[in-house]
Chain A
Amino acid sequence: MAFEYAPAPESRSIVDIAPSYGLFIDGEFVEAADGKVFKTVSPSTEEVLSEVAQAGTADVDRAVKAARKAFEKWSALPGSERAKYLFRIARIIQERARELAVLETLDNGKPIKETRDADLPLVAAHFFYYAGWADKLEHAGFGAAPRPLGVAGQVIPWNFPLLMLAWKIAPALATGNTVVLKPAETTPLSALFFADICRQAGLPKGVVNILPGYGDTGASLVAHPDVNKVAFTGSTAVGKEIAKTVAGTRKKLTLELGGKGANIVFDDAPIDQAVEGIVNGIFFNQGQVCCAGSRLLVQESIQDELLASLKRRLSTLRLGDPLDKNTDIGAINSAEQLSRITSLVEQGEAEGAERWSAPCDIPSSGYWFAPTLFTNVTQAHTVARDEIFGPVLSVLTFRTPDEAVAKANNTPYGLSAGIWTEKGSRILAVANKLRAGVIWSNTFNKFDPTSPFGGYKESGFGREGGRHGLEAYLDV
């Protein structure tokens, strides 16, 4: 008899999703001016979770005005007072962590294991971390009395809805800015729950405003003349549009865009841990991670051994109901994203790369894609160049450290990279030559609020997290 794990689903009853939600402007939930709404669905079941107001240009204007008005008082508060609000928010997030984890899993499709053990602890940690900076800004290295910029317009993606919100809102508030934030159209719910947390924490009205909507909502927020700072995380294509919009204005801009991270495994690597790191690098959050290690560069001499281990390990991944605590791989966020992944994988096959997918049962409803890897990939293949943003790994080989570095850097992106070797001097030598914002060694996808994160080249500019993350929200 085999050891079959019985289903262990997390209860949905802890989260109370209302049939409809408004926009959060000036401390109140309100209807959109033109009455527009859209539906948000659960990617694992295609069930409609709720109906959400869709912000139009008039709503953006209303929210920016509210944020502008709130800015006068908020920025004038002593840092220690702002810190109190941020600490309070962080504590409420911890208290409501289980509820938020279930909500995020329902709305996004990622496994409860990840929302519970990775997302929510990091969300709380970001608020705690930047709460600590709020009364120490004069010691941050940006001058004696660095000033906030004003109203920050922030647009975030659907892969880490609440975590990206925390990365944007925590440093903005700590430095005295006020915020208008647009969550992604497929994952608006946790941001709306966050609006409720702001009220629970007694945050002054207008300091945080949440405007669910599609790309046009984001575009009008970015273009609004009274926004002083634009922060965007998302695709490189949209990032370029935003850069054009903002060019020539006095707005400050930071962009966190796509990536095609190289995970370099040398022949002296700790193989079992490297396999875990590769899995974590590309199959965490179904590969829908901008800093995913989506290109595996493996030293030719250990290719067969490593690939055999990797395939064996992928065969143990458990795909299915994301609310099941034993699920490793959840649903793809949307039908649109699934079709993008599917078409890129088909292109990979058409170009002659060899496809291998883990054997797993695909549920009948919802959006799913089995963990997949491509071998016989070269730099000329589309799957080695384009960001797939799904659970698809491209495997390339190299013979020397120089070749590894050359291939790793041969990409329009530069967000993350990984180095696996037991030789310390090689870690330092290779890391120094890689053009990527984050370089992990003998680990992957580790995040911490104290550590700055950001890209080179088409992966964007500016840093989030750490002391460096303050700079984007200060007049320096």
Chain B
Amino acid sequence: MPTTAHTLTDVAASESTLRRFLHGLPGVDAVGLEARAASLGTRSIKTTAKAYAIDLAISMVDLTTLEGADTPGKIRALGAKAVRPDPTDRTAPATAAVCVYPDMVPAAKAAVAGSTVKVASVATAFPAGRAPIAVKLADVREAVAAGADEIDMVIDRGAFLAGNYMKVYDEIVAVKEACGASARLKVIFETGELSTYDNIRRASWLGMLAGADFIKTSTGKVAVNATPANTLLMLEAVRDFRLQTGIQVGVKPAGGIRTSKDAIKFLVLVNETAGEDWLHNHWFRFGASSLLNDLLMQRQKLATGRYSGPDYVTVD
């Protein structure tokens, strides 16, 4: 493996150097990876540590709605909730961002105006990514122009699986450029479709080499989304990438994380793999919609000693 930032810039000099680099990364033993993720899942997080973790998790949520039926009204409700997740308890932190389709960015910007909440948009022909590059770039530019702070792009999984790493790399570079200086870029691999852990590690490095600010597991639209194992693997990748280049990249597991218990397990993975530098919403996010209410219910339980129930949190 190259050991300096200089040699890493040469990696993408040609299709063959890129391929050689990605295939030269250390392999992943699936059994060992899953065993490690499971063993970290047995950490027992209680009392003060739990309260800390729940607030941290809330602050890391990208509160998401990605439905064909989304309306400005729905987005307004989502934005209000992101800014003030628990109307009964103003000490609850705001979420990190709201995540919407590009055409909803103006509505989302208006909804979170004046708060710390960012607006993220899934541009680049989400979720399939099956559109010409010109269309994808136009999608990104529109979203950024409308005020999106963050762009969540999907990679061309077909090109990746066919071994056309350079095509994937070039697309990420182009999208990053379209993001300009104002928007951070999250690169979505759709790990469920990449299928093997070796592929996920290669995709992680490919994304980081091409300039991703975040690497993200999935769209939430396929059968297998974020898992403790694939997130652990991506955390190892960002840790190793920073060791080699000094550049810190964020991680975002998305899809299927529904309970506080699960979210806390992911935070343990972050803490013990990449380290506490990543325990901040600038570097770690949860792509989720239903997770937030469970976090809020657990938070109320810690505060009052009783479970209140779903009618004591908002449905938006």
Interface residues, chain A, with chain B CB atoms under 8 Å away: 1-8, 113, 117, 268-273, 276-277, 305, 316, 325-326, 422, 442-443
Contact A2 B276 (CB under 8 A): yes
Partner of A442, one of B1, B31, B268, B279: B31
Q: Name the segment of B39-47, B100-108, B246-254 touching the other chain.
A: B39-47
Given contacts A271-B26, A272-B26, contact A277 B32 (CB under 8 A): yes
CB distance from A444 to the nearest CB of B (A): 10
Contact A3 B48 (CB under 8 A): no
Question: How many residues on the B side are at the interface (Cβ–Cβ under 8 A)?
Answer: 29
> Per-residue 0/1 for B142-184: is the Cβ within 8 Å of any A Cβ (1 yes, 0 no)?
0000000000000000000000000000000000000000000
Can you name 11 extra interface pairs (CB under 8 A) apart from A5-B44, A272-B36? A2-B276, A2-B279, A3-B53, A3-B271, A3-B276, A6-B45, A8-B45, A270-B29, A271-B26, A276-B36, A326-B44
Q: Which residue of A is nearest B34, CB measured?
A: A273
CB distance from A273 to the nearest CB of B (A): 3
Residues in B whose Cβ lies below 8 Å from that of A270: 26-29, 32
Residues in A whose Cβ lies below 8 Å from that of B276: 2-3
CB distance from A292 to the nearest CB of B (A): 18
Contact A6 B47 (CB under 8 A): yes
Given contacts A270-B32, A316-B272, contact A3 B26 (CB under 8 A): no
A422 to B56, CA, bound (A): 38
A–B Cβ pairs within 8 angstroms, 5 of them? A6-B47, A268-B27, A270-B32, A272-B32, A326-B43
Contact B29 A273 (CB under 8 A): yes
Residues in A whose Cβ lies below 8 Å from that of B46: 6-8
Residues in B whose Cβ lies below 8 Å from that of A5: 43-45, 49
Partner of B267, one of A3, A316, A422: A3
Contact A269 B26 (CB under 8 A): yes
Contact A272 B42 (CB under 8 A): no
Given contacts A117-B42, A268-B27, contact A6 B279 (CB under 8 A): no
Q: Which residue of B is nearest A10, CB measured?
A: B44
Q: Which residue of B is nearest A5, CB measured?
A: B49
Contact A325 B33 (CB under 8 A): no
Residues in B whose Cβ lies below 8 Å from that of A325: 42-44
Q: Is B52 an interface residue (CB 8 A)?
A: yes
Residues in A whose Cβ lies below 8 Å from that of B33: 272-273
A3 to B263, CA, bound (A): 14
CB distance from B200 to the nearest CB of A (A): 13
A8 to B267, CA, bound (A): 17
Partner of B52, one of A1, A8, A326: A1
A4 to B45, CA, bound (A): 9
Main secondary structure of the interface of B (DSSP, over half): helix
> Per-residue 0/1 for B268-289: is the Cβ within 8 Å of any A Cβ (1 yes, 0 no)?
1001100010010000000000
Q: Which residue of B is nearest A272, CB measured?
A: B236
A113 to B46, CA, bound (A): 16
Residues in B whose Cβ lies below 8 Å from that of A8: 44-46
Given contacts A3-B49, A316-B272, contact A443 B31 (CB under 8 A): yes
A352 to B46, CA, bound (A): 45
CB distance from A202 to the nearest CB of B (A): 35
A255 to B91, CA, bound (A): 64
> Counting chain B CB atoms within 10 Å of each CB, which of A2, A270, A422 scores highest?
A270
Q: Which residue of B is nearest A304, CB measured?
A: B3
Q: Is B50 an interface residue (CB 8 A)?
A: yes
> Counting chain A CB atoms within 10 Å of each CB, which of B32, B36, B45 scores highest?
B32
CB distance from A275 to the nearest CB of B (A): 9
A1 to B51, CA, bound (A): 13
Contact A6 B49 (CB under 8 A): yes
A467 to B27, CA, bound (A): 35
Q: Which residue of B is nearest A113, CB measured?
A: B42
Q: Which residue of A is nearest B233, CB measured?
A: A272
Residues in A whose Cβ lies below 8 Å from that of B272: 316
Residues in B whose Cβ lies below 8 Å from that of A113: 42
Residues in A whose Cβ lies below 8 Å from that of B43: 5, 325-326
Q: Which residue of B is nearest A8, CB measured?
A: B44
A268 to B49, CA, bound (A): 39
Residues in B whose Cβ lies below 8 Å from that of A277: 32
A197 to B279, CA, bound (A): 48
Residues in B whose Cβ lies below 8 Å from that of A1: 52
Q: Which residue of B is nearest A267, CB measured?
A: B26
A389 to B271, CA, bound (A): 31
Could you tell me which residues of chain B, from 275 to 305, have a CB within 8 Å of some CB in chain A? 276, 279
> Per-residue 0/1 for B237-266: is the Cβ within 8 Å of any A Cβ (1 yes, 0 no)?
000000000000000000000000000000
Q: Which residue of A is nearest B28, CB measured?
A: A270
Residues in B whose Cβ lies below 8 Å from that of A316: 272
CB distance from A369 to the nearest CB of B (A): 22
Partner of B28, one of A2, A4, A273, A305: A273
A3 to B28, CA, bound (A): 28
A305 to B53, CA, bound (A): 32
Given contacts A276-B36, A325-B44, contact A442 B29 (CB under 8 A): yes
CB distance from B244 to the nearest CB of A (A): 10
A316 to B27, CA, bound (A): 23
Q: Which residue of B is nearest A9, CB measured?
A: B44
Contact A276 B27 (CB under 8 A): no
Residues in A whose Cβ lies below 8 Å from that of B50: 6
CB distance from A326 to the nearest CB of B (A): 5
CB distance from A150 to the nearest CB of B (A): 42
CB distance from A428 to the nearest CB of B (A): 17
> Counting chain A CB atoms within 10 Å of each CB, which of B29, B31, B45, B279 scores highest?
B29
A1 to B33, CA, bound (A): 28
CB distance from B220 to the nearest CB of A (A): 26
Shortest beta-carbon contacts, A-B, top 7: A273-B32, A8-B44, A422-B27, A273-B29, A325-B44, A270-B29, A271-B26
Could you tell me which residues of chain B, from 111 to 164, have a CB within 8 Å of some CB in chain A? none
Residues in B whose Cβ lies below 8 Å from that of A442: 29, 31-32
A88 to B42, CA, bound (A): 29
A111 to B44, CA, bound (A): 14
A268 to B1, CA, bound (A): 11
CB distance from A304 to the nearest CB of B (A): 9
